[in-house]
Structure 1
Amino acid sequence: MERVNMVKSVSRALDIINIVSMKKTGCGVTEIANQIDINKSSVYRILTTLEKYGYIEQDLDSEKYKLGYQFLDISSRLLESIDLRTEAKPFLEELESQTNEVIHLVVYDEGEVVYLEKMEGTETLRMHSKVGRRAPMHCTAVGKVILSYLPDTKVLEVIDTKGLPKHTDRTIVDPALFLEELKKVRQQGYALDLEENENGITCIGAPIFDNTENVVAAFSISGTTMRMTEERLAELKVTIIDVGKKISMRLGSRQSQVV
């Protein structure tokens, strides 16, 4: 690791924190010293300092050191400061640049999706979507992907209150078929809108998870059905799942590390 322009004592303290964090049962002074190649007295002084500020604590029975609860306080403040739109935007801009298609970011609200972000791309495409506007869940890729990760009771509540109104000839209007569709979406990790909301427009959407592993948003790539062929959708599904994992990681999700 490059140490130029770094404070050695701070660097060592961070190395120690990293080592201690890797073991649930904690680490002893000798074990830590052997891993970072500094003497035990130096390790002990650093541990004592970290303990004073709550970042490290010692188990009185085993005499091993573990992470302190100060990290929980800091992490909770970090999570509270995270803004979904801000964290997602760089990834969505890159996705727009790669695909040249319309990119949407939405959140769930009272049985519908609300558009937080829309990037127009460079290809010609007219859509009804607009930041702040609402859209149905049952016939949009973003709506379906959010519903697929919500509890069954919530899904049934949305169907009961909002219904499955027909937007095009391809809209799924049968509740049983729609529930099967949601099961498929969850298994594959993405959703498709095959001209189910607007004629001539095909979309592919993926979920975004937060630190509690709950779905908090979804995003999609939208293009004309002529451009969004089966072959292209097969390529885009890999990309969109990967981007979803990266955004989720920024929000504290661990699912992003699971393939």
Structure 2
Amino acid sequence: MDNGNNSNSSNSIVMIERAFDILKYIYEHEKHVGISQISRDLALPKANVFRILSTLHQVDAVEKNDDEKYSLGRLLVQLGNKARKNFDLSQIASPVLSKLSAEIGESVNLGIKYGDNILTVLGFEGESSTLVSKLVPIAPLYCSSMGKLYLAQMTDPQLEAYFASLNATIETIHTKKTLTEFLALREGILKENIAYDLEEYEYGLACIAAPIFNGKDDIIAAISISGPYSRLKYKGMESMKSKISSAAKVLTEMTKYLE
């Protein structure tokens, strides 16, 4: 009896794993998919795929059309809506950013796009700095390292319209080092997924930012390291870049199902 129970338990776990493999496969395809296609691409016996889909259909986890092909069902919508309420980006990012700030001894922030600005929604302080303490929670895209990541995703016409709307004169530029010729920078930002603010928002202050993407490769947030430029250079800008990039990749993996 014990052996039979253990066997049943083992088989149940395997079947659950296969069921989720099938659900993920259907999720990755925009159109309905059939049993033969799923069986072939996942290397599963057709009989197993049929039984799993039949069970998932019974509980509304998948829907079946007249051609005997399947798509995700209403149950998953209900479960997803419930899960999303508990899936707060700040809550997810908090332990990652707290650990990074403690490791490097610098301020680390999480920001989102808010109109034509970056809004900092979460931050952890590093070593004391008058410059960092002067930072306000909202900053224009063009002079923020996190904002530049969003600008880099824009098309040429969108960028031209954005900078035209700024009507950037000496009165609106925070420092003389502000980079308004953004098209020349975009290729490098997109290649490395890293953007800098080197004394553009405030003299002596530097920030390094990396983007967080969802499963559709849309940028949903950004994280940054902020500190005195001289101190960041002393600690190593390449090291800072590597650490912020690694943290962003971890958060992208954790948030890839966010819309």
Residue 158 (structure 1) aligns with: 162
Is the contact made by 1:101 and 1:223 (CA closer than 8 Å) also made in structure 2? yes
1:166 is paired with a residue whose SS is: coil
Question: Match of 1:50?
Answer: 56
Structure 1 counterpart of 2:195: 191
Cα RMSD (Å): 3.4
- Closer, same or farther: CA 98–74 of 1 in aligned 2, 3 Å: farther
**Of Structure 1 and Structure 2, which has the larger fraction of its residues in helix?**
2
Whether the 8 Å contact between 1:79 and 1:252 is mirrored in structure 2 is no
Provide the C-alpha distance between the structure 2 equivalents of 1:75 and 1:195, rounded to a whole number of angstroms: 46
> How far did 1:153 drift?
3.7
Cα distance between partner residues in 2 of 1:181 and 1:230: 25
Identify the match of residue 38 of structure 2 among 16, 19, 26: 26
Distance 1:84 1:49, change over 3 A: same
Match of 2:141 in 1: 137
Q: Which residue of 2 aligns with 1:97?
A: 102
Instruction: Give the CA deviation at 1:184.
Output: 2.1
Percent identity over the alignment is 24
Contact kept in structure 1, 2:61 and 2:76, CA below 8 Å: no
Q: Structure 1 stretches of 5 or more lacking a match?
A: 35-39, 255-259
* Closer/same/farther in 2, CA of residues 66 and 8 from structure 1, 3 Å limit: farther
CA positional deviation for 1:7? 5.0
Give distance in 2, aligned partners of 1:168 and 1:253: 39
User: Using the alignment, how far apart are the partners of 1:22 and 1:49 within structure 2?
Assistant: 16
CA offset at residue 48 of structure 1? 3.5
Instruction: Name the amino acid aligned to 2:19.
Output: I
Rounded Cα–Cα distance in structure 1 between residues aligned with 2:76 and 2:60: 10
What is the CA distance between 1:111 and its match in structure 2?
Answer: 0.9
Aligned in 2, Cα 1:54/1:183: closer, same or farther, shift over 3 Å? same
1:17 matched residue in structure 2: 19
2: CA distance between counterparts of 1:108 and 1:47? 41
Runs (4 or more) in structure 1 with deviation over 4 Å come to 6-10, 21-24, 42-47, 56-61, 65-68
Partners of 1:17 and 1:93 lie apart in 2 by 36
Classify 1:163/1:57 alpha carbon distance in 2 versus 1 (closer, same or farther; 3 Å). same
Which segment drifts farther, 202-211 or 18-27?
18-27
Are the equivalent residues in 2 in contact too, given 1:142–1:219 (CA < 8 A)?
yes
Q: Is 1:106–1:142's contact at 8 Å kept on the other side of the alignment?
A: yes
Give the AA of the match of 1:108: K
Alignment partner of 1:148 is 2:155: no
| Count of matched residue positions in the alignment of Structure 1 and Structure 2 | 235
TM-score, scaled relative to structure 1: 0.74
Amino acid of the residue matched to residue 166 of structure 1?
I
Question: Normalising by structure 2, what TM-score?
Answer: 0.74
Deviations 1:153-183 (A, max 9, x none): 43333322234433223222xx4x2221233
Question: How far does the alpha carbon of each residue in 1:87-142 deviate from its partner, in whole angstroms, 9 at most, with x for none?
Answer: 21111111111111011211111211111112111x12122224xx3212212211
Unmatched tracts of structure 2, length 5 or more: 1-5, 27-32
Q: Give the one of 175, 179, 183 matched to 1:168.
A: 175
